[in-house]
Structure 1
Amino acid sequence: SFSGRFDAGTGKQYNIGRVSGEHIHLGTDDNVLSSLVNEEGAAFNSREREHEPCCLPGTRTSVLKAVTEWADSPAEAKILWLNGWVGTGKSTIARTVARDYHNQSRLAASYFFGDRRADYFVTTIALQLANMDPGLRQSIEDSLRRHPLLRRQSLSEQWRRLVLEPLVGFLRGYDGKPMLLVVDGLDLCQEENDIGLIVKLLFEACDACGDRMLVFLSTRPEASIRDEIACIEHREVMLQREDASTDISLFLSDELSRIAVKVGTETGWPGKETIANLVTKSDGIFAWAATVCQYIRDGRNKTTTISRLHGVLQHRITNTSPQGKLDQIYTETLNRTVRSTWDTCEVDEYCHSLRETLGFILILQSPLSVDGLNPLLGRDDAGSILGDLHSILEAPAHPDKSIRLHHYSFCDFMLSEERCPARFYLGNQMQQHRQIAERCLDIMAERPEWNDDSNGSQSLTVKMETPELQQSSISAFHYACCYWVHHAQRGKIDLTTGSRVNLFVQKYMQKW
């Protein structure tokens, strides 16, 4: 119900104080911007993010150089999409970019999602724009006065009135280098439909503002983002695991030397060999290295600090240990693949398919592509099952490129009943080995050449190359020929007379 003062009449403006418990401002209120909600902690320089790090000087130089060249040189692509799997330092790079362009007075706004809803995305951006320039502030205030119910309307309408139109007007008289809008972690937005919408809104801003507005977008390479951004012109920068080792080594050396000074360890602690060991364990995951340092730093004293480092090297896992933090990321990533719109039966069916698919991938003796994996599964949906797991798996869009894990610890996590959620836990691998062995026999037995009696006793040669040296993965048939015995042994399949394996060998071994 309405409350407060209500002035009606020709030429009069209204001032309604409250509607359903929330403030709405109409008329010439000097504090009209107070009607907009600011999402706390969304801006890169908010109080909540004060202690989050930027890139250490001398690290991530190639990525930051690519961003600078894109932002400073006119280009057709007005959106730069930085993507990489979980824990590779995307948010740290985004904070660094936001800080650098803020210092150059070229940052229009920044928004770091971090598992937020998109409800206040536009209003938060609008408030940052209003804070950037008095002219922008006036334009946004005027829009709010003309459209007093705007904050209750759609994100698209809010974007048009509070961001797009004010920005276009402001940039008409702007002759400097392009302004930058930084958005990080859009893939973590709680409502998947809003992810695609925001990508479209960002593109609208770039399109309307011409060469004067650019968007830096950093996310995991999940399907919800890839599908949307594929439809618009953009530049893509991928964070590669191979590029991170030197930077992680520099980061660890710097952080641990600070800890050594603080707790008073001996000179040179922990040593180059230990640093190299930690770099190997990180396997390109910056989040792991950062968590290691925080975990060790929280030891507070010399004895606990040294003990914690030893525990990391010995792979001791607790809730606060680096691997415990990585387990939380794995759990969150897996949980996000389950849609809230599915009923119980659909969730159970999906989780079964996911367990089977991941279970096969983790015990394969040689990486397979999606096309190679599908025949082993006896299904054709491996690609769609893995579509939301690109942040923890390298599952190339090309169906002939091999699927690989980003970090070795994911395998341990999936096989640990204590660490992995029950609905994703893989359980006994013996059954999975048995399933693969059975499918290998099926795939080989279905080979036409092997069932052609015209070949008589003529042997069939299967040419193999070393899988590690191939750009594409081996086929399901080649994999079956090479590794069916391994899986049969691990699955403890019956080899006695009259068993399926025994009959297969009798029928086909002479054609091998």
Structure 2
Amino acid sequence: MEQGHAVRMVIVIDALDECEREDDVRDILRLLPRAQELNSVQVRLRFKDIADDHQDFILHEIPDSVIKQHRGVIGTIIILESPLPVASLSRLTGISKESIHVRLKLLHSVLSISNDKTKPIRPFHLSFRDFLLHPDTPEKTPLWIDEKETHQTLTVQCLKVMQHKLRKNICNLPGDGTERGGVDLNSVSHHLSPELHYACRYWAQHLIQSQEPITEMVNAFSFLKLHFLHWVEAMSILVIISEVVKIINTL
């Protein structure tokens, strides 16, 4: 603090290869991730050209909680059938926007992250997705994404979003015979948020690719017993009613 004002400080730690002892390198690499746990200090880490043995050390020092959140955020982004902005990712996954931003901070080189918060987050190239999902990746890094497990998680999350938000006459239309052209687009955007739109359209695709599709099928039928007409209404308003038949046939 200086005269009551916060002073931003930037500290750059470089040239780990100049450390005289191997233990010095390991100590620095062990301590840097811990610095990110300090609430009062903003820390950004970036490692470049670290030898494989040091890189392996870093990855195995990552706390389980960080790995779990990484899978929840990055796994969702690379598995989504259609990209979503941060706010919608947060509402779909139940992970706070702040936590998502923390995970995205160091991934600008592999993810398209716009300053416009309404723009969706997407990988620059499929190679990033392919690497994280490849069956050999667990041997290289604990940040591997289990594709079937992520699909199952997304199935649960999609069903949860629809259960909470779908209802009869969701856009408050004046009558049952209202034509699609007479539906106000602002009303559609307000009542059918991007994450609800996504859930309605893609829940079944995640279900059939999930780890335990039979278990999720039971949950899906329970959902449809209560909300089938609400779901069909939403799909109609979104002008994707033709996909309902395909989804039913898939199940």
Match of 2:15 among 100, 110, 116: 116
Look up the match of 1:481.
200
* CA distance 1:460–1:506, shift in 2 (3 Å): farther
| Unpaired segments ≥5 residues, structure 1 | 1-112, 120-189, 193-222, 226-327, 466-473
- Which structure has the larger Rg over C-alpha atoms? 1
Deviation at 1:347, TM superposition (A): 1.2
* CA distance 1:458–1:431, shift in 2 (3 Å): farther
* CA distance 1:392–1:510, shift in 2 (3 Å): same
Match of 2:131 among 406, 413, 419: 413
Report if aligned partners of 2:155, 2:203 keep a CA contact under 8 Å in 1: yes
Asked if residue 507 in structure 1 is aligned to residue 226 in structure 2, the reply is yes
Identity %: 23
Report if aligned partners of 2:70, 2:103 keep a CA contact under 8 Å in 1: yes
**Counterpart Cα distance in 2 of 1:115 and 1:461:** 64
SS at match of 1:365: coil
* CA distance 1:348–1:510, shift in 2 (3 Å): same
Match of 1:375 among 91, 94, 115: 91
**Counterpart Cα distance in 2 of 1:496 and 1:481:** 15
Look up the match of 1:434.
152
Deviation at 1:496, TM superposition (A): 9.1
CA-to-partner distance for each residue in 1:46-82, whole Å, 9 max, x for gaps?
Answer: xxxxxxxxxxxxxxxxxxxxxxxxxxxxxxxxxxxxx
Report if aligned partners of 1:394, 1:404 keep a CA contact under 8 Å in 2: yes
**Counterpart Cα distance in 2 of 1:460 and 1:504:** 26
Deviation at 1:495, TM superposition (A): 7.2
Provide the aligned length of Structure 1 versus Structure 2: 179
Deviation at 1:224, TM superposition (A): 3.8
Report if aligned partners of 1:368, 1:475 keep a CA contact under 8 Å in 2: yes
Deviation at 1:475, TM superposition (A): 1.4
Deviation at 1:433, TM superposition (A): 0.7
Letter in 1 for 2:129: C
What is the correspondence of 1:181-196 to structure 2 with a 5 Å cutoff? none
Deviation at 1:451, TM superposition (A): 9.7
Look up the match of 2:190.
none
**Counterpart Cα distance in 2 of 1:459 and 1:441:** 28
Please report the TM-score for the alignment, with normalisation by the length of structure 2.
Answer: 0.56
Asked if residue 351 in structure 1 is aligned to residue 70 in structure 2, the reply is no
**Counterpart Cα distance in 2 of 1:501 and 1:448:** 14
SS at match of 2:167: helix
Report if aligned partners of 1:434, 1:487 keep a CA contact under 8 Å in 2: yes
Q: Indicate the structure whose relative CO is greater, using CA pairs within 8 Å and at least 6 residues apart.
A: 2
Letter in 2 for 1:404: R
Asked if residue 494 in structure 1 is aligned to residue 214 in structure 2, the reply is yes
CA-to-partner distance for each residue in 1:257-300, whole Å, 9 max, x for gaps?
Answer: xxxxxxxxxxxxxxxxxxxxxxxxxxxxxxxxxxxxxxxxxxxx
Deviation at 1:375, TM superposition (A): 2.0
Letter in 2 for 1:490: Q
CA-to-partner distance for each residue in 1:70-112, whole Å, 9 max, x for gaps?
Answer: xxxxxxxxxxxxxxxxxxxxxxxxxxxxxxxxxxxxxxxxxxx
* CA distance 1:495–1:350, shift in 2 (3 Å): closer
Deviation at 1:425, TM superposition (A): 1.3
What value does the CA root-mean-square deviation take over the aligned residues? 4.5
**Counterpart Cα distance in 1 of 2:179 and 2:163:** 15
Report if aligned partners of 2:84, 2:194 keep a CA contact under 8 Å in 1: yes
* CA distance 1:352–1:461, shift in 2 (3 Å): farther
Please report the TM-score for the alignment, with normalisation by the length of structure 1.
Answer: 0.30
CA-to-partner distance for each residue in 1:401-445, whole Å, 9 max, x for gaps?
Answer: 111112221111112243453311113x11211110110010011
SS at match of 1:413: helix
SS at match of 1:440: helix
SS at match of 1:446: helix
Look up the match of 1:177.
none
Report if aligned partners of 2:111, 2:124 keep a CA contact under 8 Å in 1: yes
Deviation at 1:448, TM superposition (A): 6.0
* CA distance 1:487–1:403, shift in 2 (3 Å): same
Asked if residue 444 in structure 1 is aligned to residue 130 in structure 2, the reply is no
**Counterpart Cα distance in 2 of 1:191 and 1:486:** 40
| Unpaired segments ≥5 residues, structure 2 | 1-11, 19-30, 34-42, 186-192, 233-251
Report if aligned partners of 2:155, 2:206 keep a CA contact under 8 Å in 1: yes
**Counterpart Cα distance in 2 of 1:432 and 1:414:** 12
**Counterpart Cα distance in 2 of 1:368 and 1:413:** 21
**Counterpart Cα distance in 2 of 1:480 and 1:375:** 11
**Counterpart Cα distance in 1 of 2:136 and 2:152:** 24
Structure richer in helix, relative to its length: 2
Report if aligned partners of 1:495, 1:502 keep a CA contact under 8 Å in 2: no
Report if aligned partners of 1:445, 1:451 keep a CA contact under 8 Å in 2: no
Match of 1:391 among 105, 109, 114: 109
Structure richer in strand, relative to its length: 1
Deviation at 1:449, TM superposition (A): 3.5
Match of 1:402 among 108, 111, 120: 120
Letter in 2 for 1:488: L
